[in-house]
Amino acid sequence: MLIAAITFRLRAPWVHSLKEKRMIVRSLIVKLQNTFHVSAAEIDEQDTYQTIVIGAAAIVPHSAMADSLMDKISAFVEENTEAEILDEHREIR
């Protein structure tokens, strides 16, 4: 059994308040949780308006499934947000 973790750093230049940012973050997190049944949360930069850092993690039986899941999550995030993906970090433990 392995843990697959993926972290995204996004930039949303049109956001001008924390309230606006939290609406975007909450929407993306709920979509990730409902679509992939993963744990997801905003993990850093909570007080910065235009930077969003979201992490997702799941328990998987083998590394091939971890890679596949992270590829699907990455494509999903790219398709479901207007924010620019600045960085993506993957980890399998």
How many domains are contained in the chain? 1
One digit per residue, the tens of pLDDT, for the chain of length 93 reads 999 999 999 999 999 999 999 999 999 999 999 999 999 999 998 888 899 999 999 999 999 999 999 999 999 999 999 999 999 999 999
* pTM, to two decimals: 0.90
Q: In this predicted structure, what is the pLDDT of residue 23?
A: 93
- Give the CATH number of the domain where residue 65 resides: 3.30.70.1120
Q: In this predicted structure, what is the pLDDT of residue 50?
A: 93
Question: What is the token pair recorded at 67?
Answer: 């890679």
3-state secondary structure at position 29? helix
Q: How far apart are the C-alpha atoms of 32 and 80, rounded to whole Å?
A: 10
Full residue range of the structural domain in which residue 27 is found:
2-92
